[in-house]
């Protein structure tokens, strides 16, 4: 059915998915980096996104457990180090927790994840299960949303610093190492799928895996928008911002 | 921490979850049975809900595979018969497909599930995985939303027949057997959890399982409302109603 793509053609097809389905296109992202959200809405984003961050090591460990060679496992082990850190330096999960606390959330509420939207949990768990159950090729391909993350991070950090005077560079420290870690991860993962997707069917599976991962990210923003922007129906039991909600970008 | 409830007290705690978290309270349900949706919105509901229906036999088979006695397996096998039917009589999955086709959807589009919302897939898969991975007690408890379904079915059928002249009793044939199947299933499952939740911790696990299942149902309506009612942002690749959308309750 599908033609076999050159390595460059496969990369271009992956980038086309990013141009049409990556969550930088989502209205919630535009509100966030455009300074249009109040503090409670930014808190809801940070709180829910913590669950995603906290499950990334589980996702990576599930794949690591299935990789066949020490060389591949060493490559993937770096991701665990990035996210779980070392005794002397915090990893991505701890840095995201600091971000959530920095925007005013209670550390226990963040860590327990008991107030997140059910849709966040279902989407993130779907990602972990995908990596656990699908082929190694599809699991690695699903990480390729990192091809598009440097742009979104740059937009997000500059937009948030410019528009919310209660957010500091320190609070956003999560993002700085990601700007170098993500391209390094992508170099490996992209070369891997270019080499191992050696039939049209496998190439289509790679593209489908990236679309799936875009859905995972997109649906998290759908749920945030629905609950906290418009129409603003918070599901039973989920985080409700404190009543004294502040105007966009200003301190009370 | 929690006190041990009598069988009646446990049932009452379960019913309280239904009174506060069951999806008959969701604004989408009210629009649906109140005749406030157009045909495209009803189609989106039927299309997405088909995925839920189609995975119920997988959920029940996953539990059946783990049940320890022939007696329990026979009891649970009835659910497979209800949903997958017999050669001479269609089951719930086929009846739901007929409902979806009856509201104007293409049978292939329904069966392939390729146009459903990612959030629907994530929520439904979360349910199947819950039943696969949690204790048998929790898996059985998660079926107890059926305690509340006769009411919602009665509201839905009468509301839809009264308000949409393009929906017939025939199209809604899915629901008729459910009115007798659900109470029979509940009799067994409720007695099972009352007998086997013999510590406060197990009782709390039973209640948490029912809350989880309510979240699964609720978040499906959140996603439908977000994509097809307000603000009406359809995620990339999902079902888009035909352009000639009809006014609520009328034929074009």
Structural domain including A18 reads: 7-229
Which residues are CB-contacts of A68 (< 8 A; sequence separation ≥ 6)?
none
A241 located within any domain: no
CA distance B215 to chain A (A): 6
In tens, the pLDDT along B20-65 reads: 999 999 999 999 999 999 999 999 999 999 999 999 999 999 999 9
User: What's residue B79's pLDDT?
Assistant: 96
Mean pLDDT of chain A: 94
Q: Residues, chain B, total? A: 252
B123, B225, B235 member nearest A122 (Cβ): B123
pLDDT band at A111 (very low <50, low <70, confident <90, very high): very high
Instruction: List residues in chain B touching A: CB distance below 8 A.
Output: 20-21, 27, 117-119, 121-123, 125-126, 129, 211, 214-216, 218-219, 222-223, 225-227, 230-231, 233, 235-237
Please, are residues A196 and A202 in contact by the beta-carbon 8 Å criterion? yes
Residue A192 has pLDDT above 80, yes or no: yes
What is the count of structural domains for chain A?
1
CATH of the domain at B85: 1.20.910.10
Mean pLDDT of B156-161: 92
Distance CA A130, CA B203 (A): 31
A235 located within any domain: no
Q: How many CB pairs under 8 A join A and B?
A: 92
Q: Give the Å distances, CA to CA, from A23 to A18, A20, A30, A114, A173.
A: 9, 9, 10, 25, 21
Please, are residues A35 and A237 in contact by the beta-carbon 8 Å criterion? no
Place of tokens 């309506």: B221
SS3 B103: coil
Which residues are CB-contacts of A134 (< 8 A; sequence separation ≥ 6)?
A142, A209
B1 located within any domain: no
User: Distance between the two ends of chain B, CA-based, in angstroms?
Assistant: 59
Q: Which two tokens mark B140?
A: 């059985």
Q: Give the Å distances, CA to CA, from A222 to A26, A59, A234, B78, B220.
A: 8, 22, 13, 38, 12
pLDDT band at B14 (very low <50, low <70, confident <90, very high): very high
Residue B250 has pLDDT above 50, yes or no: no
In tens, the pLDDT along B160-214 reads: 999 999 999 999 999 999 999 999 999 999 999 999 999 999 999 999 999 999 9
| B89: region left, alpha or beta (phi > 0 left; psi from -120 to 50 alpha) | beta
Place of tokens 């439908």: B224
A100 located within any domain: yes
Instruction: List residues in chain A touching B: CB distance below 8 A.
Output: 20-21, 27, 117-119, 121-123, 125-126, 129, 211, 214-216, 218-219, 222-223, 225-227, 230-231, 233, 235-237
Mean pLDDT of A80-103: 95
In the DSSP assignment, the letter for residue B145 is G
Distance CA B252, CA B247 (A): 8
CA distance B241 to chain A (A): 19
Mean pLDDT of chain B: 94
User: What's residue A243's pLDDT?
Assistant: 77
Which residues are CB-contacts of B1 (< 8 A; sequence separation ≥ 6)?
B200
Nearest partner of A24 among B119, B237, B236, B122, judged by Cα: B236
B118, B219, B226 member nearest A118 (Cβ): B219
Mean pLDDT of B139-146: 98
A219, A235, A237 member nearest B235 (Cβ): A219
Mean pLDDT of A59-80: 96
Dihedral sign from CA coordinates of B221, B225, B227, B231: negative
User: What's residue B151's pLDDT?
Assistant: 86
Cross-chain Cβ contact A119/B219 below 8 Å: yes
A130 located within any domain: yes
Find chain B residues with C-beta within 8 A of A239's C-beta: none
Please, are residues B8 and B138 in contact by the beta-carbon 8 Å criterion? no
CA A172 to chain centre: 15
Which residues are CB-contacts of B14 (< 8 A; sequence separation ≥ 6)?
B144, B147, B190, B206, B207, B210
User: What's residue A249's pLDDT?
Assistant: 44
Q: What is the ipTM of this complex?
A: 0.88
Which residues are CB-contacts of A49 (< 8 A; sequence separation ≥ 6)?
A96, A220
Residue B113 has pLDDT above 80, yes or no: yes
The whole-model pTM stands at 0.92
B245 located within any domain: no
A248 located within any domain: no
Dihedral sign from CA coordinates of A86, A142, A27, B39: negative
| Other beta carbons within 10 Å of A22 | 23
- 3-state class percentages of chain B: helix first, strand second, coil last, to nearest 5: 70, 0, 25
Find chain A residues with C-beta within 8 A of B235's C-beta: 215, 218-219, 222
Distance CA B231, CA B93 (A): 31
Q: Which of B62, B125, B130, B226 to mutate to test the interface with A (most CBs of A within 10 A)?
A: B226
Tell me which of A132-136, B124-128, B160-164 is least confident. Answer: B160-164
Residue A36 has pLDDT above 90, yes or no: yes
Examine residue A40 and say whether the peptide bond preceding it is cis (omega within 30 degrees of 0).
Answer: no
CA distance B107 to chain A (A): 23
Q: Give the Å distances, CA to CA, from A66 to A25, A139, A189.
A: 33, 10, 16
B251 located within any domain: no
Q: Which two tokens mark A7?
A: 């390595």
Cross-chain Cβ contact A231/B231 below 8 Å: yes
Q: Give the Å distances, CA to CA, from B6 to B13, B193, B203.
A: 10, 12, 10
Dihedral sign from CA coordinates of A134, A207, A52, A186: positive
Q: Give the Å distances, CA to CA, from A175 to A35, A78, A110, A154, B252.
A: 18, 17, 18, 9, 52
Distance CA A100, CA A119 (A): 19
Distance CA A138, CA A203 (A): 10
In tens, the pLDDT along A219-249 reads: 999 999 999 999 999 999 999 998 754 444 4
pLDDT band at A49 (very low <50, low <70, confident <90, very high): very high
């Amino acid at each position: 059915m599908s033609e076999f793509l050159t390595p460059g053609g496969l990369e271009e097809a992956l980038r086309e998915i990013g141009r049409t389905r990556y969550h930088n296109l989502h209205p919630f992202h535009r509100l966030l980096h455009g300074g249009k959200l109040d503090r409670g809405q930014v808190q809801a984003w940070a709180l829910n996104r913590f669950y995603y961050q906290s499950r990334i090591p589980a996702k990576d460990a599930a794949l690591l457990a299935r990789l066949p060679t020490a060389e591949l496992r060493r490559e993937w082990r770096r991701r665990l180090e990035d996210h779980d850190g070392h005794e002397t330096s915090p990893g991505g999960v701890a840095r995201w927790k600091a971000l959530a606390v920095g925007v005013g959330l209670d550390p226990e509420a963040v860590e327990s994840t008991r107030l997140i939207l059910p849709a966040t949990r279902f989407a993130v768990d779907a990602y972990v299960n995908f990596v656990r159950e699908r082929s190694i090729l599809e699991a690695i391909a699903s990480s390729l949303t990192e091809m598009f993350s440097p742009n979104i991070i740059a937009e997000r950090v500059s937009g948030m610093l410019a528009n919310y005077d209660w957010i500091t560079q320190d609070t956003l420290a999560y993002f700085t190492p990601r700007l170098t870690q993500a391209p390094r991860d992508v170099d490996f993962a992209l070369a891997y799928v270019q080499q191992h997707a050696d039939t049209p069917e496998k190439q289509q599976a790679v593209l489908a895996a990236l679309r799936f991962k875009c859905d995972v990210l997109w649906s998290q923003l759908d749920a945030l928008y629905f609950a906290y922007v418009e129409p603003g129906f918070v599901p039973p039991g989920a985080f409700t911002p404190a009543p004294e909600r502040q105007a966009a970008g200003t301190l009370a």
